[in-house]
Copies of this chain bind each other. A is one copy, B any other.
Amino acid sequence: MQVTEIIGILAGVFTTIAALPQIITAIRNRACKDVSPIMFIILIIGVGLWTIYGIMKEDWPIIVTNGISTILNGSMLFLIFKFK
């Protein structure tokens, strides 16, 4: 495996799981004060479009990483309104 490929995979893993610590913080604090719901709405549209892009190009890594990201950011948006 090439160095470039390894960097690409690592980059994909980090950007995919980024919302996870924010979800944990929200559940722990039972609050989402100062967290922007618009940020997560824009993220959901963005990674949702990337997922559609992946489906149209039949590109599995794009579908899987952005699919997971859509679910995580969607969960976070749900928490923002739950703890409002």
Contact = CB atoms under 8 A, between A and B. Distances in A.
B18 A26 contact: no
B11 A50 contact: yes
A32 to B, nearest CB: 5
A49 B9 CA distance: 9
Given A14-B45, A46-B15, A50-B11, A34 B29 contact: yes
Contact of A49 (B7, B20, B33): B7
Contact of A4 (B19, B29, B56): B56
Interface of A: 3-4, 7-8, 10-22, 24-26, 29, 31-36, 38-39, 42-43, 45-47, 49-50, 52-53, 56-57
